[in-house]
Amino acid sequence: MHFDCQTCGACCYGPEEYVAVTAVDLCRMSTPQQARYVSKTGDRLFLKMVHGHCAALHARQDHFSCRMYGARPQPCKLVEPGSRECLTARQRRRMSDVD
């Protein structure tokens, strides 16, 4: 099976407080990226969600990309095409098994 992240984006959709951000993750982000994409709830940090998807997701005409890919948090790095996390996200979005 072939899974192409740039035609999917399913892993970027979820509830508030979906992707935790650690201090190590913050070190990889620029100050503008932190201000634009990170929110704080109590003493925990998360990626901001907008309309049910990550604020860093750039979705246009069936093409999906991350505006902070190089600095994305560790949980995002764990999602590989076809991985358990990928397939779970695709199932949540009711997507077919193959792109």
76 Cβ neighbours under 8 A, 6+ residues apart: 11, 19, 66
pLDDT tens-digit series, residues 18-74: 999 999 999 999 999 999 999 999 999 999 999 999 999 999 988 999 999 999 999
Pairing between β-strand 44-47 and β-strand 20-21 as defined by DSSP bridges = antiparallel
pLDDT band at 3 (very low <50, low <70, confident <90, very high): confident
**What's the CA gap between 13 and 52, in Å, rounded?**
6
